Structure 1
Amino acid sequence: MEAVEAELAWYREREPGFHADLVVDTDIGSMMMVSHGTFYVDGNIRLPRARIQPLVQHEIGTHVVTRHNGAAQPLRQLEVGLAHYDALQEGLGVLAEYLAGYLPGNRLRVLAARVLAVHLALEGEGVPGIFDCLHNEHGLPTDEAFDIAVRAMRGGGLTKDAVYLRGLRDLLDHLAAGEPLEPLLRGKFALSHHTVLDALADEGWVVPPRLLPRYVQHPDHARRLARCRDGDVTAFFQGEPEP
């Protein structure tokens, strides 16, 4: 919790108008999440120390920061999001974990398993069938397979889980083409919107991001971002935490 409060304070020091409510809840169904600018943390959260900052950067450095930047746009819809913005948001979130120093290979495996779980749910499988596929066919540990299976059926089917990996893949392709990262932080929008937003920027309807994520100030940021431009999502992980 201290890491979250310190992160929010860091942004407030740099941008007086920055605001995000912090809610601790033991019944949110996720370790951390952002909804309508409010940052929720599971009151029972337990994380390895090396994963705290990456997940904080995913939630605050991506979802909260882009909402703040969107609120500063003349085109105010960028605060709440243009159509189909989820994939880029989650791609940026996973990218933030890497740029913050530790995106383990198992994280990618979980994201891939969620895609499969959503597919099975849409095919009519229930929790037992999804669990059986993930655990017995693909070798996921019992607890991970069960959590992913239950998550896939939450609220009748959490199909949003399918966009994380696709969003990351498309984002890495975008960066591999030599495109800059910072314009993608102007608000919440789909990757396909970026050329239109560039044109709107020329007309004054879109402005540069007011805030950039904290991870861009890390001494190794340029080197880490350069590695992201390789574009291979299957190799996009870190074997050990980077200081």
Structure 2
Amino acid sequence: MDNKDHNHDLRSNNRTGTQHRTSRHDKNSSIDCCNREESCSPNPTKTAATDPPITNLTEARDVKEDVISDRSIELETEGTAESMAKMIEIRNYFDYDLQPRSLYYLDSTFWDPKQRAAEYRWVHNVTMCDILLKADEINTNGNEELRAQRRALVDRVNAILDDLETAKKKFDEQDEKWRKREGKERQEREDKIQQELERATKRWDEQENDIWQKFKRLRRRKE
């Protein structure tokens, strides 16, 4: 008797629970009551897709290195552009100022050796300091085009400096020959003048002696 009542109560409770859950879902026919647990559970909240957090030290180091590499490339590009601008400025100064001044020294005739020497010193020193040294200070950042342009400029400058040095040696030799010739001619002129003075002195002495002799004869006659 007790077992039957107990079983009856269990079945009654099961039916009651079933009717209760069924009555709740009957209000919305779109819910599949055959899958009550999935139908009644709340939908998961969807969030915007984001990059997963970096939890690996190796991955973090790689990201940092990529950022540094990108920044280094950017700085290298800016540095190359700045170096190229400096190279163009130096090359223009040589092309439009120093090279014509050098050709003027090579082709002109300087009557004053001191003026020619001063012109050589100015052109040579300015070319060395403002062209070669400044070009050597330019950081090419490994840029092959910039290196090639600097190398071409240095070759042209060295060629001009060689021409200037060769011309200076030639002018110095000419000046030395001129000084020797001038010295010889001056010495010859001085010797000639000295000889003329000696002859004139001798002639004056002879004339003075003749006058003195005449004076003596006149005194004897008066006596």
Structure ranking higher in strand proportion: 1
TM-score, normalising length from structure 1? Answer: 0.23
Structure number with the higher helix fraction is 2
TM-score of the superposed pair, with normalisation by structure 2: 0.24
Larger radius of gyration: 2
